[in-house]
Structure 1
Amino acid sequence: MKSRKIISITLALITALFAVMSCIPTALAAEYQANGATYFTFTDGGITVSEGTYDGYKIEGTSLTINDSGTYVLSGSCADGSVKVKRGTTGVTLVLSGLTLTSSTTAPIACNKSTEVRIIVASGSVNTLTDSAKNNDDNYPDNTYAENAVIKCKDGSQVTLSGSGALNITANGKSGIKSGATTDEEGEARMTISDLTLNITASVNDAINAEQLLNVTSGNITISAGDDAIHSDYILNIGSENGEGPVINIKNCHGGLEAATLNVYSGNITIHASDDCLNAANSDLSGYAFSINIYGGTLVMDTTSGDGVDSNGSLTISGGTLVVWSANIADNQPLDADGTITISGGTVLAAGGSNGMGMNLSASQPYVIYGSASGMGSGMGGNFPGGGRGNGNFPDRSDQSGDIPTPPSGGFSGDTNDTKGGFTGGNPYGGFPGNAGSSVSISSGSTITLKDSSGNTVYSGEALCSASVLIFSSSALENGETYTLYVNNTETGTATASADGSGSTGGNSGNQPSGNQSGSNTTSNDQTDSFETDAPDNSSADSTASSSSDSNTGLWIAIGVLSAALAVIIILLCKTHKK
């Protein structure tokens, strides 16, 4: 009799547990319902709607068009459907709350020209967006519905993609996410990505592509791309001052992060590329001061056939950690810039090919070089565009709210350099100040260790590629101190640390991006427009996502209590059975 009671209680607890868990999706949307949101559920047969305060929409079969401001919650599953925000519509919030949407001919989600849209991925939800090969007007010119991306944001659109849920994107047509250009007719375009878990597979082209301003401030992003992982024709900002995110794992790609101006402020970034891991270039821009600026974060990167870091202008490293390995073959450099490479802070380990470093280096913190550095000498002057020296200032950024960070404007501030070749304190005629060590041979997968003269380890890590040249710079080094390189615990070379040096070594100039990039047709050297970074207020979107997450705490507590009670009942059953 006692066993029957225990079994009855157990069944009741199991029923209650499932009931509570089934409430989670409803609770996720309840916060939006309280605000008058309108709900849409997609099926293969059509779209059902639960009326809310907002009625700015039109349904045609499995196609939904939003034509007025409001909050619209999307869920369900549909094998061929789409969501479109009409041109010029502002104040739109799309909440993805368990949406699986595939489109056979167009983009599953499109934000048309001059729209302002927040796309929020609801807490606890998993969402999947997929297109088909036909969503590519290059390969299917007769398909007039093709948008060439799974999420397409057109010229003049200002879109924020955020939330604490998960979004999976599979691009079979062209790109995963596409943001448009700034034009006189449509206005300023920008995209900001923050907080969410974002997984993108784009086997044909770029995972994320922007024609103007792209900010990836936080979140957990995983990418596999046929071309660039994250690309912007003008400015790409990664992370923020005082921030810890984003976490970006680029499993495979042609190019990693590419923009005319690439700023890295924070984050944990891993890149496996077949071409350049970081690239500052745009073949459509004439007279532009291309730059890569690393202010913080951790970047661990390797490439099988390109340069590790390649700037058609300057490369400035003032903080963070940069570990980059390029293939040990001719013409592939771990660090390569047409202008000056300035190292004033952070930790840098760069290793790669037999031709040495293609760089004009200015290092104000100590560095050592091991291996051949062919072509040393012939200093290149090395001033930044405008004559300034990089000062490593961060943009003003105090939180992770999703607001756009402000990059340094109009080049770099600081005292100008009047030396005709090299930098103050260095050799004005180029060449490194005697710190290049003897030739080395490093095999992929080996353990490399740098030790000072007392045997203390200043760096240890795994070789991601074979290499014959290695440069290391860190505040842990002391000027004039000798450091020994060990490969698999075998002494391989020694070098003396020096700072305030300048010089140039052999290497090719940075390559322009591949021809299939659709850069803007701007030829002006005026960068003012490209540094416009004011954004719509995203605080309400973030607070909405946050409140939704907080509201689920009670549900998870209930699940925990029921689960614990169920465990106790099972133990009692076992004891009763033994008796």
Structure 2
Amino acid sequence: MTDTKYRKKLLMALLAAVLMAAMLCGCAGDSGDGETSASSLDGEADAGNRDNAEETDQNMELAGSEIGREFTERDRDSSYTESEAVQIELEGNSISADGRGVSVSGNTVTISEEGTYVVSGHLNDGQILVDASDSAKIQIVLKNAEIYCGTSAAIYIREADKVFLTLAEGSRNVLGGGAEYTDTDENTVDGAIFSKADLTLNGAGSLEINAEYKHGIVSKDDLVITGGSITVNAVSQCLSGKDSVKIADGVFVLNSEGKGIKAENTDDSTLGNIYIAGGKFTIRTEDDSLHASGSIVIDGGDLIVESGDDACHADADVVINEGTVLVNSCYEGLEGYRVVINGGTVDITASDDAINAAAPKNASDTGNQDRTSRQEGEMQPGGEALQNSDMPDEKESLDGEPQNGELSQNGKLLQAEELPGRELPQAGGMPEGELSEDGEMPAAGGRRGGQMPGGGDTGRGSIENDSNAYIKITGGELTVTAGGDGLDSNGSLFLSGGTVCINGTASQGDSVLDYNGIAEVTGGVLMASGSSGMAQGFSSSSSQCSILRVLDESQEAGSTVTLSDSAGKTFLSWSPAVQYSCVVLTSPELKLGETYTLSAGSENLEITLDSIAVSNKTGGMIQNMP
């Protein structure tokens, strides 16, 4: 969860409990002819952000990551000559092997030379150990092999240049181990397959791994997979690579109490990347489903994800170029410093933000906020600063505990709506007389401009914009249903192509678009519906017209939204999945100066586009709230 997200929820609760005025914005009245007022949403907020932020470079993604998109011919080639390979027979409590480069000691078979080795049979409690020169390339063919090792990896690659683990066509192979490993050398072995060298899996057979200790498949260099049907049930991580995890093809079922696919390199920030070019994935995890200390790039494949935390998390960038990503459940959907969708089909259902662009936890650049700590000077009633120790927990736990941003009373964390002594109005339900003559909401004590008690300024211009962070959508189809923000950027938001549909939450502390910099639209279609309390639309610096409309009344889920031109042609239409009180939309068909008819549930109105970004959102304090 971003700092902006935290501030919004905390401020909503504080304002509800402390300020005398209601904090939700009402609707500006239509003019006599039904035209919407042309007050651009970003008039004050965007200007303030431009004053505080340097221009954002829209092409920063992947500049700091070494993404290898190529797969070698040998990575893909699973062929072998049976008659020339060394045969290793597993016989329950013993092993038989005869050939160059292989030796047997008790229940361990050691491969020490370059070559091809075919493994078949069942081993009750033992190990295949690769201990060769650092220039050796070794192919191990699993041909109906079942290996259980109670105290270590079933396959342990201690040293080699590269190992190719081939799943023989039509074969079924099973690996597993005990719940506790014992180190036998200087390496900490923590996977059913553990490799200190580059590791490639290929072939047309199947592999099932049951990792009761920690991880399924681990490579301390590159983990490459080009084929096979792979099922991993793991306590911690299913697939793990230090420098990278690269997948060209295959069928994957990954179940984990931790993460599904992880790449992490703490020594080199350009590494620790995940690259997916194809394959079919079903991933169910209690932690992140895909997690990279570098970047995640998806160029193809079909992913079905159920995640207890982020569906895809990268400390650097998340980029989707092609493929299908269906996230049935998660806390946050796509999270990275920069999140870019250039193509493909993405469908996200999230309990919090669907897409989140924010600095990584270890960011040290000036202006990048640490997501694990709060800046000094956060305001609490009375103008005193909230210290880190005063902050609620960062995010909702897996057992259903409430999220942060909720105040505690008698040990119970409360939603903003549950705070005593204040009934919050619904959208369009602003108490009469609360707005000042110029349409701004006065704060407690008659303050204007978002002044918090104690002198704090809640104006959006005071929230630091991270010019290195952005969400960019250039193509593809994106559908999100969010329990928090739809698109949440600690920096900016850019839309130049594709089709985006956002089902936002009815919670007044969240919005379909949430950004600290600017939101520019130059192309593409966006249809969004959600709450009005924190609503933001697109910036006036855009070249394509957009509309933000706060409705007079909340509309029920499923009530259709349509936009038609003066000739009666409907060119935007959708049925929001969640109750909504405002809509945001843009399309290349919108033309400056033209009049359109917007129908949203029970409301019908005419809107004239007399500015690039048309909005009826008023109330300076709410508009500028972080």
TM-score by length of 1: 0.60
Match of 1:466 among 570, 573, 579: 579
The answer to whether the Cα contact below 8 Å between 2:270 and 2:294 also exists between their aligned partners in 1 is no
The answer to whether the Cα contact below 8 Å between 1:189 and 1:213 also exists between their aligned partners in 2 is yes
SS in structure 1 opposite 2:511? coil
> What's the CA shift string for 1:107-155, capped at 9, x where partnerless?
110011xx13311233xxx3210113xx4xxxxxxxxxxxxx111223x
SS in structure 2 opposite 1:33? coil
Per-residue deviation, 1:216: 1.4
Per-residue deviation, 1:199: 0.8
Structure number with the bigger relative contact order (C-alpha 8 A, sep ≥ 6) is 2
Cross-structure match for 2:263: 179
Cross-structure match for 2:292: 210
Match of 1:268 among 345, 365, 388: 345
Cross-structure match for 1:313: 491
Distance 2:326 2:299 in 1: 15
Bigger shift: residues 326-335 or 38-47: 38-47
Per-residue deviation, 1:279: 0.2
SS in structure 2 opposite 1:339? coil
1:63 aligns with 2:154: yes
Cross-structure match for 1:94: 201
Which residue identity is paired with 2:492? Answer: S
Which residue identity is paired with 1:33? Answer: Y
Distance 1:498 1:168 in 2: 53
The answer to whether the Cα contact below 8 Å between 1:266 and 1:297 also exists between their aligned partners in 2 is yes
> What's the CA shift string for 1:353-403, capped at 9, x where partnerless?
12152356232112223225xxxxxxxxxxxxxxxxxxxxxxxxxxxxxxx
The answer to whether the Cα contact below 8 Å between 1:37 and 1:71 also exists between their aligned partners in 2 is no
> What's the CA shift string for 1:431-471, capped at 9, x where partnerless?
xxxxxxxx353211222222112111111122121111101
Cross-structure match for 1:385: none
Cross-structure match for 2:506: 328
Cα distance, 1:47–1:167 mapped onto 2, change above 3 Å: farther
Cross-structure match for 2:326: 249
Match of 1:231 among 299, 303, 313: 313
Greater share of residues in helix: 1
Any gaps of 5 or more consecutive residues in structure 2?
1-75, 83-114, 131-135, 142-146, 179-190, 369-467
Distance 2:564 2:308 in 1: 40
The answer to whether the Cα contact below 8 Å between 1:40 and 1:47 also exists between their aligned partners in 2 is no
Give the aligned length. 380
Per-residue deviation, 1:284: 3.5
Cα distance, 1:30–1:290 mapped onto 2, change above 3 Å: closer
Sequence identity, in percent?
26
Cross-structure match for 1:152: 240
Cα distance, 1:452–1:65 mapped onto 2, change above 3 Å: same
Where do 1:40-55 residues align within 5 Å?
A: 40=119, 43=122, 45=124, 55=138
SS in structure 1 opposite 2:226? strand
Match of 1:188 among 245, 268, 271: 271
Per-residue deviation, 1:189: 2.8
Distance 1:111 1:344 in 2: 43
1:106 aligns with 2:214: yes
Per-residue deviation, 1:38: 4.5
Distance 1:486 1:502 in 2: 16
The answer to whether the Cα contact below 8 Å between 1:361 and 1:502 also exists between their aligned partners in 2 is no
Cross-structure match for 1:492: 604
Cross-structure match for 2:234: 131
Per-residue deviation, 1:498: 4.9
1:448 aligns with 2:561: yes
Which residue identity is paired with 1:166? Answer: V
Any gaps of 5 or more consecutive residues in structure 1?
1-28, 136-148, 240-244, 373-438, 511-579
Match of 1:33 among 65, 70, 80: 80
> What's the CA shift string for 1:497-551, capped at 9, x where partnerless?
35544999746877xxxxxxxxxxxxxxxxxxxxxxxxxxxxxxxxxxxxxxxxx
Where do 1:377-526 residues align within 5 Å?
A: 439-487=552-600, 491-498=603-610, 500-501=612-613, 506=622
CA RMSD of aligned residues (A): 3.2
Distance 1:345 1:34 in 2: 55
Distance 1:42 1:351 in 2: 58
The answer to whether the Cα contact below 8 Å between 2:563 and 2:572 also exists between their aligned partners in 1 is yes
Cα distance, 1:251–1:43 mapped onto 2, change above 3 Å: farther
The answer to whether the Cα contact below 8 Å between 1:291 and 1:315 also exists between their aligned partners in 2 is yes
1:166 aligns with 2:251: yes
